[in-house]
């Protein structure tokens, strides 16, 4: 195991349990809608057709899961997987509100040990979750395993800007993160975790190399917001 997050799984699980109820509100306010635009970029690059089997890892409150289900349609199958029960509870409510309860299955499980046979899905995604697992390489290996031959993997994640001016601005912005969270009722320490994990996660180039080690080909990434985020795409 190569640790990419040194926080224990229990610590991370407890943190997400605390923030689950306000996670969407706080992230939408703090990100100024950036994450929504990044998800749109994912679908611009992903080859997703009606009737496909899709898996959304670390699905959280289900935004990306819902978008996948809408693309795959009633003839497809969409699974949202997360290890945190409160986040899945919120995801279930949002999926029901979207009228997609029949199209979406929610599974509580560890992304490092997926409870699915080899070659189960045509698409596997993970949005803003890879930096929260202890071993990102193991998650990539599992994603590759459960993909069908020719299937696509897509990862949205925070990254490190390379432009010096953007880097300074991004660091200053992240320092405000916990204080903004407190204004909306969040716990500063929890959002400080989100800040530090985003800053300490592997670079976009390093993640591309990890995808290669996991077996993916046709690998590439796109910088988002001048490198503050990255969209990685690979194929089995």
Domains in the chain with CATH codes: 9-235 (3.40.50.150)
DSSP category for residue 58: T
**Contact indicator for 230, 144 with CB cutoff of 8 Å:** no
pLDDT attached to residue 228: 82
Q: Which helix (H) or strand (E) holds 104?
A: strand 104-108
44 is in an annotated binding site: no
> Rounded to an integer, what distance in angstroms lies between the CA atom of residue 172 and that of residue 216?
35
| Segment 110-129, tens digit of pLDDT | 999 999 999 999 999 999 99
pLDDT attached to residue 184: 65
pLDDT attached to residue 227: 84
pLDDT attached to residue 34: 81
> Rounded to an integer, what distance in angstroms lies between the CA atom of residue 36 and that of residue 42?
10
Tokens 């560890």 -> residue: 110
| Segment 75-89, tens digit of pLDDT | 999 999 999 999 999
pLDDT attached to residue 49: 92
pLDDT attached to residue 142: 99
* Residue ranges in the chain modelled with pLDDT below 70: 1-6, 27, 29-32, 177-178, 180-181, 184-186
110 is in an annotated binding site: yes
- pTM > 0.75: yes or no: yes
**Cβ-based neighbour number of residue 1 at 10 Å:** 8
What contacts 176, CB < 8 A, 6 or more positions away? none
Greatest distance between any 2 Cα atoms in the chain? 48
């Amino acid at each position: 195991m190569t640790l990419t997050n040194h926080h224990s799984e229990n610590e991370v699980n407890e943190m997400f349990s605390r923030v689950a109820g306000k996670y969407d509100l706080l992230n939408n306010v703090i990100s100024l809608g950036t994450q929504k635009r990044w998800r749109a970029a994912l679908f611009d690059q992903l080859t997703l057709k009606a009737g496909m089997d899709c898996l959304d890892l670390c699905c959280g409150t289900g935004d990306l899961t819902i978008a996948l289900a809408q693309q795959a349609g009633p003839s497809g199958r969409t699974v949202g997987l997360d290890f945190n029960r409160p986040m899945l509870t919120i995801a279930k409510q949002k999926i029901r509100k979207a009228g997609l309860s029949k199209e979406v299955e929610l599974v509580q499980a560890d992304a490092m040990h997926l409870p699915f046979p080899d070659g189960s899905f045509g698409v596997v995604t993970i949005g803003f979750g890879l930096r929260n697992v202890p071993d990102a390489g193991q998650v990539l290996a599992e994603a590759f395993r459960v993909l069908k031959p020719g299937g696509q993997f897509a990862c949205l994640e925070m990254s490190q800007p390379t432009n010096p001016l953007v880097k300074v601005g991004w660091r200053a912005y992240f320092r405000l993160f916990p204080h903004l969270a407190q204004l909306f009722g969040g716990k500063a320490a929890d959002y400080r975790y989100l800040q530090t994990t985003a800053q300490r996660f592997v670079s976009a180039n390093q993640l591309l190399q990890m995808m290669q080690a996991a077996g993916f080909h046709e690998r590439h990434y796109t910088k988002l917001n001048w490198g503050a985020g990255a969209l990685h795409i690979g194929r089995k």
